[in-house]
Amino acid sequence: MTATGSLKVVVIGGTGLIGSKVVSMLGEHGHQAIAASPATGVNTVTGEGVTEVLTGVDVVVDVSNSPSFDAGPAMDFFTTATGNLLTAAESAGVSHYVALSVVGTDRLLASGYFRAKQAQETLIGDSGIPFSIVHATQFFEFVGRIADSATDGDTIRISSALCQLIAANEVATAVARTAVGQPVGGVREVAGPDQFPLDEWVRVELRAHDDTRRVVTDPQAPYFGVVLDDYTLLPGDDALAFSTRYPDWLANRVATAAR
Ligand SMILES: NC(=O)c1ccc[n+]([C@@H]2O[C@H](COP(=O)([O-])OP(=O)(O)OC[C@H]3O[C@@H](n4cnc5c(N)ncnc54)[C@H](OP(=O)(O)O)[C@@H]3O)[C@@H](O)[C@H]2O)c1
C-alpha cells in the first residue's frame, strides 16, 4: 500500500466480505479505518448515522451491496444510498470517494442489478467530488452463488463465456491501495491471473465440494438475466492482474474448512 500519511477512512459496507478486509488492511498500514454499516448504526438508505460518521473524514470507501439483486430494490438501494453519501461527503469536505463496481457493468445493462451499479457510478462521476471507481471481475467467493442462480432442479445451465475471476482478498488490496492513493477520476480494473470459460469455473467449484449437480454448457443461458458473449465479463488490456490462482485458493479453503 502506498501510504501518504495517516488517513481517516470510512468504509461503507465495512462489515461485508470486501469491506471487513479493507478495514483490516488500512488499519495494518497505520490508517484510521472505520467500518460503517447498519450493524454499526450507519444506514445509507435511511441516512441514519451518515453525517456523523463522515465528520472529519479524508476518504469514503463504498463497498456496500444491495440486500436484493432484483431490479427495483437494487436501483432504490444504490441511488438512494449513493445520493445520501455524496451529499454528506460534500458537506464534510471529503477529498476522495472510492467505490467498488464490476468489470463490464456497462455491457450488462440488460440486468436491473447492473443498471443500478451503472447509476451508482454515474452519480459518483457527476458529483464533483474527486473519485476512483474500482472495477473488479467476479470473486472466487461468488462462484457458488453464480452456480445457484443458474440451477434448475439438479441441473446448472450456464454460459461458456470467458471470465477472469479474482480472490476477494486481492480485490480488498486493490480497494485499500486506491483509497490511500490519488483519485483516478475514472475506472481502475482489477482481475485474477487466469481466463477460463464460466462453466469451467463452476465445474471446478462443484468438484471441490463433491456437489453432484449436472453442469450443462449453454451459450444462451443468461447470467443474472444477461446473455453473454465471450468478452462481456473480461477486463481490458490495462487491468491490474493479481496472482492468486483459483485451484490454490480452493485447496486452501477446503483445507481450512476441514480443520
Ligand atoms: N460478488 C462479486 O463477484 C463482485 C464483483 C465485483 C464487484 N462487486 C461489488 O462488490 C461490492 C461489495 O460486495 P460484497 O460481496 O463485499 O458485499 P457483502 O459481503 O454482501 O456486504 C455488503 C455490505 O453492505 C452493507 N450494507 C447493506 N445495506 C446497507 C445500508 N443500508 N447502509 C450501509 N451499508 C449497508 C452490509 O452491512 P451489514 O453487514 O450491516 O448488513 C455489508 O457490510 C458490491 O457493491 C458489489 O457490486 C462484487
8 A C-beta contact, residue 17 and residue 136: no
Distance 37 CA to ligand 1 centre (A): 10
Distance 18 CA to ligand 1 centre (A): 8
Pocket of ligand 1, beta carbon within 6 A: 12-13, 15-19, 37-39, 42-45, 63-65, 67, 81, 100-102, 117, 136, 138-139, 142
8 A C-beta contact, residue 205 and residue 143: yes
* Integer CA distances (angstroms), 136 to 16, 52, 104, 128, 257, in order: 16, 30, 9, 23, 26
Quick one: the chain helix, strand, coil %, rounded to 5? Answer: 40, 20, 40
Q: Can you tell me the distance from the alpha carbon of 153 to that of 170, in angstroms, rounded to the nearest whole number?
A: 34
Q: In this predicted structure, what is the pLDDT of residue 1?
A: 42
Q: In this predicted structure, what is the pLDDT of residue 2?
A: 40
Place of cell 470486501: 18
Q: Share the mean pLDDT of the chain.
A: 96
Q: In this predicted structure, what is the pLDDT of residue 4?
A: 52
Q: Can you tell me the distance from the alpha carbon of 185 to that of 163, in angstroms, rounded to the nearest whole number?
A: 26
Q: Which residues of the chain have pLDDT under 50?
A: 1-3
- Ligand 1, from 46, 64, 103, 170: best to mutate by most atoms within 8 Å of Cβ? 64
Q: Which three cell numbers stand for residue 166?
A: 479474482
Q: Which three cell numbers stand for residue 128?
A: 464533483
Distance 65 CA to ligand 1 centre (A): 3
- Ligand 1, from 60, 65, 124, 166: best to mutate by most atoms within 8 Å of Cβ? 65
**Secondary structure (3-state) at 250:** helix
Residue 79's nearest CA partner among 40, 127, 138 is 127
Place of cell 435511511: 46
Q: Can you tell me the distance from the alpha carbon of 197 to that of 217, in angstroms, rounded to the nearest whole number?
A: 10
Distance 63 CA to ligand 1 centre (A): 6
- Ligand 1, from 25, 37, 118, 120: best to mutate by most atoms within 8 Å of Cβ? 37
The CB-side HSE value for 223 (13 A sphere, CA atoms) comes to 29
198: left (phi over 0), alpha (psi -120 to 50) or beta: alpha
